[in-house]
């Protein structure tokens, strides 16, 4: 290894590792990237390819052409997630905007003031297209209803992984095949000194990026504390099947069943359930939801599901990967200088804030569900974070969504969840009440779809 270049070892065989390796090699100058292909893939990560709009930012940063991704990897467009059977009506959580504000008053306040009117979803271009199974690219013309559209992608992960791998080779990612026999720590125990492979070889690097999914033995060889969310998010078993022929679905659908849900996307099908409420099913993967307290420790950082493990009902898997990679690049220690304690603390703090917010976002529909079965009642009664408790109380009271410093979701998406599940604030917004009803109605008329 040359003394000049900063070396990084990315551990993993799945899409997370491939995404990380190619990003680091392509976006950072003077970095030598080696990927250890362990041959083990995480069964959850590598079959569910639902991506939020962050995947497009990820592609743009790498200079990857989206049309190219779509044609080469059988990807399709994704407008949002529909939750079916959770309440007495379907709830759609779309990307993009739900109507523009008027005189600084957020759209949902206008909608609440004008009630009763058409359902909230009627004012989302994403929801309207998803209901018709259609897609069109967003418009750049301001004021056009299509201007508020936003989308993610539905990736066929095996094909996508192949494409990333070729791209990585071109970008200079060196691949090593091998299985880890042992992890050697530095003398103080706070860092990794080398990985010993089963064939006797040693691998060393300045920084170790553990992208090996929920197993993540490299990062776990250092002290790590797991923050467990299994009391709040009860689903702990998954069966995932890849669809050989992708369906024409522009949304994910999560259909509630007795002790969990069935998940349908263009590229995969899955069943998630709680093992406490349903006996074991053949082929089910056990997993636990939660996060590492400090994903970055010393010279080793866990990204993706090695750091944050969540069920796939809100398409947070690859979203998390994109955000972790972006944050890692933003905090890149680079060159000769090591990351300082303050930088590592910053990375860990922001990653934790973001993950906790994701947990809250996923838990929200469980808390608001209207089903009678024991699983659903237990899910509704689960422990709720202080932040979500406060946010819910404030929304119920005033229809106001509090702002958080690190939030991986759009405000409109939170509001669509809250309103979709039938929360109607006790008090109308005073500013909305001051607006003449005719102006509100004109605004609704202009964007009704």
Dihedral of alpha carbons 244, 249, 255, 260, sign: positive
If one asks whether residue 185 binds other proteins (CB under 8 A), the answer comes out as: no
> Coil, helix or strand for 323?
helix
Q: Which one of the spans 164-172, 228-236, 269-277, 429-437 is the region binding other proteins (CB under 8 A)?
A: 429-437
If one asks whether residue 114 binds other proteins (CB under 8 A), the answer comes out as: no
Interface characters, 336-355, with other proteins (x: CB under 8 A): -x-xxxxx-xx---x-----
Cα torsion for 352, 356, 361, 364, to the nearest 10°? 180
Q: Which one of the spans 39-47, 73-81, 184-192, 329-337 is the region binding other proteins (CB under 8 A)?
A: 329-337
Q: Which is nearer to other proteins, 114 or 329 (CB)?
A: 329
If one asks whether residue 65 binds other proteins (CB under 8 A), the answer comes out as: no
From CA 222, how far away is CA 209, in angstroms rounded? 13
Q: Which one of the spans 16-24, 195-203, 362-370, 404-412 is the region binding other proteins (CB under 8 A)?
A: 404-412
Smallest distance, other proteins to C-beta of residue 305, A: 25
In contact, 274 and 237? CB cutoff 8 Å: yes
If one asks whether residue 403 binds other proteins (CB under 8 A), the answer comes out as: yes
Q: Write the CA distances from 328 to 11, 317, 416, integer angstroms.
A: 15, 17, 31
If one asks whether residue 59 binds other proteins (CB under 8 A), the answer comes out as: no
Residue from the set 65, 118, 258, 434 that interacts with other proteins by CB under 8 A: 434
In contact, 339 and 331? CB cutoff 8 Å: yes
Query: Considering only CA atoms, which of 418, 419, 416 is closest in space to residue 126?
Result: 416
Q: Which is nearer to other proteins, 63 or 200 (CB)?
A: 63
Question: What does DSSP assign to residue 13?
Answer: S
Q: Is 405 exposed, middle or buried (0-12, 13-18, 19+ CB in 10 A)?
A: exposed
Smallest distance, other proteins to C-beta of residue 334, A: 3
Smallest distance, other proteins to C-beta of residue 429, A: 7
Q: How many CB atoms lie within 10 A of CB 350?
A: 16
3-class secondary structure per residue, 148-169: HCCCEEECCHHHHHHHHHHHHH
Residue from the set 59, 165, 169, 400 that interacts with other proteins by CB under 8 A: 400
Residue from the set 330, 437, 442, 446 that interacts with other proteins by CB under 8 A: 330
Q: Site residues (CB under 8 A) for other proteins?
A: 6, 27-30, 61, 329-335, 337, 339-343, 345-346, 350, 390, 393-394, 396-398, 400, 402-407, 427-431, 433-434
């Amino acid at each position: 290894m040359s003394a000049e270049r900063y070396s990084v070892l990315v551990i993993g065989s799945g899409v997370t590792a491939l995404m990380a390796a190619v990003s680091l090699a392509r976006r950072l100058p003077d970095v030598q990237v080696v990927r250890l292909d362990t041959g083990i893939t995480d069964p959850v990560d590598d079959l569910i390819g639902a991506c939020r709009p962050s995947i497009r930012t990820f592609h743009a940063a790498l200079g990857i052409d989206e049309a190219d991704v779509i044609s080469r990897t059988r990807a399709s467009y994704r407008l949002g997630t529909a939750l079916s059977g959770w309440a007495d009506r379907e709830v759609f959580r779309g990307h993009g905007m739900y109507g523009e504000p008027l005189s600084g008053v957020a759209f949902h306040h206008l909608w609440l003031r004008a009630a009763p009117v058409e359902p909230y979803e009627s004012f989302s271009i994403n929801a309207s297209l998803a209901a018709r199974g259609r897609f069109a690219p967003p418009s750049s013309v301001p004021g056009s209803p299509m201007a508020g559209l936003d989308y993610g992608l539905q990736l066929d992960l095996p094909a996508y992984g192949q494409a990333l791998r070729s791209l990585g080779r071109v970008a200079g990612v060196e691949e090593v095949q091998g299985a880890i026999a042992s992890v050697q720590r530095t003398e103080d125990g706070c860092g990794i000194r080398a990985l010993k492979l089963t064939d006797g070889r040693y691998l060393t690097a300045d920084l170790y990026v553990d992208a090996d999914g929920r197993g993540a033995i490299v990062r776990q060889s250092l002290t790590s504390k797991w923050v467990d969310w299994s009391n709040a998010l009860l689903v702990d078993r998954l069966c995932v099947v890849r669809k050989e022929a992708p369906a024409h679905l522009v949304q994910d659908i999560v259909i509630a069943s007795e002790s969990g849900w069935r998940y349908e996307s263009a590229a995969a099908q899955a069943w998630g359930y709680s093992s406490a409420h349903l006996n074991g099913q053949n082929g089910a993967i056990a997993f636990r939801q939660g996060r590492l307290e400090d994903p970055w420790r010393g010279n080793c950082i866990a990204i993706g599901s090695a750091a944050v493990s969540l069920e796939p009902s809100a398409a947070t898997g690859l979203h998390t990967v994109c955000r972790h990679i972006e944050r890692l690049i933003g905090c890149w220690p680079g060159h000769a200088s090591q990351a300082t304690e303050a930088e590592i603390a910053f990375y860990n703090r922001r990653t934790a804030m973001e993950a906790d917010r994701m947990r809250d976002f996923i838990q929200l529909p469980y808390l608001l569900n209207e089903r009678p079965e024991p699983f659903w009642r237990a899910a509704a009664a689960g422990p709720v974070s202080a932040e979500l408790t406060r946010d819910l109380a404030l929304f119920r009271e005033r229809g106001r969504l509090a702002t958080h410093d690190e939030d991986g979701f759009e405000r409109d998406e939170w509001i669509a969840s809250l309103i979709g599940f039938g929360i109607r604030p006790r008090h109308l917004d005073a500013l909305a009440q001051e607006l003449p009803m005719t102006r509100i109605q004109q605004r609704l008329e202009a964007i009704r779809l």
